[in-house]
């Protein structure tokens, strides 16, 4: 059996990153963590399956920048975006990229779990091409 | 400044006019009783009625009125010695003259009093030797009567003048206190305004530990029974750490927003700078600003109000961040340095932004000078008044190649200055 594809956690905050990783582990999903969008882009080649869990607000390259860059590279990676309550305008712009979902911080494990479940369902039943 | 310095010579002029007129009277009585040369009468008239106005002119036109007045007072004493000898030491007028001349010098320090007394004694001895005057201390009734105006009027005038200068000093002190209170109020309003501008960033900052706590608690719940004690303990430790972190953020905000002076205390600059950087952590990270800190321990202590100093640093650092947070600025480096500058400590904040517009350089610290769309232009002027209230100064300049340098200097804490009243942080 193939290993379960991981969630790529991109967040500049180390405690959040670590907690997310443990939380995902608790619901049975492997994860990889990255401290910045550039760190993720540097190691991700586009041929791996997975799901991006990214913080919208980050210094340097923001979550929005990262999603736009992936789109430009024609990488179709499912994306879950973590937002703060002051990010309405960025959220509107993000709609164009059709992310899997938004999580407004602080979010509950149930919200995260339901989005992860939706992604897993997509994995198991890829959309007819 | 010069206007205020003439106040003292003006008061002395009034006293001298009265004192010399009243003082010439017993001297004239002695000469009348015992006889004197016409030249002596002319010198007495000149000293009694012309000299006070000459002395006033001298002080008024001098570049340093204070110093000119010291010279005038020395001349007073020297002439006093002359008259004591010429009066043949007639007891009452001589004692009165010496007493009044001594009284005039009491506020000028012991050394000046000794010097002027020496000048008086020297002219007195010289007059005795040159003019071969007799010593005839017995005072006649006429001389006693002529001494009365000096004995009565002059002490009253001196007491009135002292009373007036005491009142002026009290009023001045009150005005200084009011200015300090106004400055503190304005600084507090500005701090609250700054916090308002920082609110979004601080809310985001506070959300991070809260999110981590929430996630960690959820992880512990989800792991539940299947996890071992170690897993659970790790979650609990992280929850504990993160709640402390959230508490720190709130504490910093509360300290910064508090009203009123916390009092001067001996402060190490290094922890203060780190505290301010923690307060601005989100702004720095959000704008991808790299921070360079160079705080040598030897130059790093001052006696100051903690919140005032934080406010100055927050203002300077936020200005630096703002100067660099335009897309055109590729390298964003904030540097904070302390260095000894004579007996002062200089704290400089440099950035790699667009620099200061030469057109506004001269008016940087003036109130209501702003290059920002949303700025009131009070930040730097408040910095200046806070630093100057601590006996320091602020300044600015270019930071090559293109950035700006802002600095402030405060007197370094000396070894004898112990930590003052420690304001409670809560």
Residues B182-193: tens digit of each pLDDT = 888 888 888 888
CA A45 to chain centre: 16
Torsion angles phi and psi, residue B411, rounded to 5: -60, 135
In three-state secondary structure terms, B337 is strand
The reply to whether B391 falls in a domain is yes
Looking at the structure, tell me whether residues B134 and B266 fall in a common domain. no
List, for residues B25-76, the tens digit of each pLDDT value. 999 999 998 888 899 999 999 999 999 999 999 988 888 888 899 999 999 9
Mean pLDDT of B334-350: 92
The total number of structural domains that make up chain B: 2
Last residue of a domain, one of B139, B156, B187: B139
CB contact under 8 A, A23 and B222: yes
| Rounded Cα distance, B231 and B347, in Å | 46
With CB atoms and an 8 Å threshold, state whether A106 touches B222. Answer: no
Residue ending a domain, choose from B119, B139, B159: B139
Q: Is the pLDDT of residue B17 over 80?
A: yes
Predicted confidence (pLDDT) at residue B281 exceeds the cutoff of 70: yes
Which CATH number do you get for residue B298?
3.30.565.10
Smallest CA-to-CA distance from B47 within B29, B69, B67, B22 is with: B22
Residue B189 covered by a domain: no
Q: Which of A22, A26, A105 sits opposite B211 (nearest CB)?
A: A105
Domain containing B25: what range? 2-139
Give Cα separations from B158 to B69, B113, B228 (angstroms).
17, 17, 90
Of B132 and B416, more confident: B132
Structure tokens at B290: 């790299």
Placement of tokens 């002190």 in the chain? B173
- C-alpha B312/C-alpha B331 separation (Å) is 24
**pLDDT band, residue B376 (cuts 50/70/90):** low
- B314 found inside a domain: yes
Q: What is the mean pLDDT of chain A?
A: 85
pLDDT of B342 reads 84
Q: Which residues contact A23 (CB under 8 A, 6 or more apart)?
A: A109, A112, B215, B216, B218, B219, B222
Q: How many Cα atoms within 13 Å fall on the side-chain side of residue A118?
A: 12
Alpha carbon of B291: minimum distance to chain A alpha carbons (Å):
14
Q: Rounded mean pLDDT of chain B? A: 86
- Do the beta carbons of residue B29 and residue B146 sit within 8 Å? yes
Query: Which domains does chain A possess?
Result: 7-109 (3.40.50.2300)
pLDDT at residue B261, rounded to an integer: 63
- Terminal alpha carbon distance of chain A: 24
Answer yes or no: are the C-beta atoms of B396 and B371 closer than 8 Å.
no
Tell me, yes or no, whether B38 lies in a domain: yes
**Which ipTM score applies to this complex?**
0.72
CA B240 to chain centre: 46
The model's pLDDT over A1-44, given as tens digits with 9 standing for 90+, comes to 457 899 999 998 888 898 888 888 878 899 999 999 999 999 99
Distance CA B352, CA A56 (A): 27
Query: Across the interface, do A13 and B219 touch by the CB < 8 Å criterion?
Result: no
The confidence score (pLDDT) of residue B134 equals 86
């Amino acid at each position: 059996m193939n290993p379960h594809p991981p969630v790529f956690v991109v967040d500049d905050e180390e405690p959040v990153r670590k907690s997310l990783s443990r939380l995902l582990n608790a619901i049975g999903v492997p994860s990889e963590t990255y401290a910045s969008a550039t760190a993720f882009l540097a190691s991700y080649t586009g041929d791996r399956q997975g799901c991006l869990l990214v913080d919208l607000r980050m210094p340097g390259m923001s979550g929005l920048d990262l999603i736009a860059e992936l789109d430009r590279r024609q990488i179709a990676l499912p994306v879950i975006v973590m937002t703060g309550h002051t990010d309405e305008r960025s959220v509107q712009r993000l709609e164009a990229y059709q992310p899997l979902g938004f999580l407004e911080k602080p979010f509950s494990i149930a919200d995260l779990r339901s989005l992860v479940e939706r992604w897993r369902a997509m994995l198991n039943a890829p959309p007819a091409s | 400044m010069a206007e205020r310095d003439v106040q003292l010579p003006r008061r002395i002029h009034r006293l001298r006019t009265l004192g010399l007129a009243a003082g010439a009277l017993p001297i004239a009585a002695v000469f009348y009783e015992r006889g004197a040369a016409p030249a002596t009468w002319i010198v007495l008239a000149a000293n009694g009625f012309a000299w006070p106005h000459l002395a006033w002119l001298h002080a008024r036109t001098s570049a340093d009125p204070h110093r000119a007045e010291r010279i005038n007072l020395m001349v007073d004493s020297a002439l006093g010695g002359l008259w004591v000898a010429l009066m043949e030491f007639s007891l009452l007028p001589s004692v009165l003259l010496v007493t009044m001349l001594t009284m005039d010098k009491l506020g000028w320090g012991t050394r000046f009093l000794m010097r002027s007394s020496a000048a008086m004694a020297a002219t007195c001895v010289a007059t005795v030797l040159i003019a071969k005057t007799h010593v005839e201390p017995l005072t006649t009734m006429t001389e006693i009567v002529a001494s009365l105006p000096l004995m009565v009027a002059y002490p009253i005038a001196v007491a009135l003048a002292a009373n007036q200068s005491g009142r002026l000093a009290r009023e001045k002190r009150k005005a200084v206190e009011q200015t300090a209170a106004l400055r503190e109020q304005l600084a507090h309003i500005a701090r609250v305004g700054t916090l308002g501008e920082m609110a979004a960033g601080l809310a985001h900052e506070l959300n991070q530990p809260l999110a981590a706590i929430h996630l960690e608690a959820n992880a512990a719940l989800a792991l539940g029974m299947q996890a071992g004690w170690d897993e659970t303990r790790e979650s609990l430790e992280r929850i504990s750490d993160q709640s402390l972190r959230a508490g720190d953020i709130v504490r910093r905000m509360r300290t910064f927003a508090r009203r009123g002076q916390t009092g001067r205390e001996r402060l190490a600059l290094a922890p203060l700078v780190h505290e301010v950087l923690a307060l601005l952590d989100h702004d720095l990270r959000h704008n991808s600003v790299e921070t360079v800190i160079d705080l040598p321990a030897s130059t790093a202590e001052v006696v100051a109000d903690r919140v005032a100093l934080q406010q100055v640093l927050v203002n300077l650092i936020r200005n630096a961040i703002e100067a660099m947070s335009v897309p055109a600025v590729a390298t964003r480096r904030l540097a904070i340095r302390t260095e000894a500058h004579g007996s002062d400590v200089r704290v400089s904040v440099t950035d790699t932004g667009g620099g200061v517009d030469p057109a506004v350089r001269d008016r940087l610290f003036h109130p209501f000078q702003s290059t920002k769309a949303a700025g009131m232009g009070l930040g730097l002027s408040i910095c200046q008044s806070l630093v100057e209230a601590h006996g320091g100064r602020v300044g600015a300049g270019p930071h090559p190649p293109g950035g700006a340098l802002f600095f402030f200097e405060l007197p370094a804490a000396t070894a004898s200055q112990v930590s003052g009243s420690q304001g409670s942080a809560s």
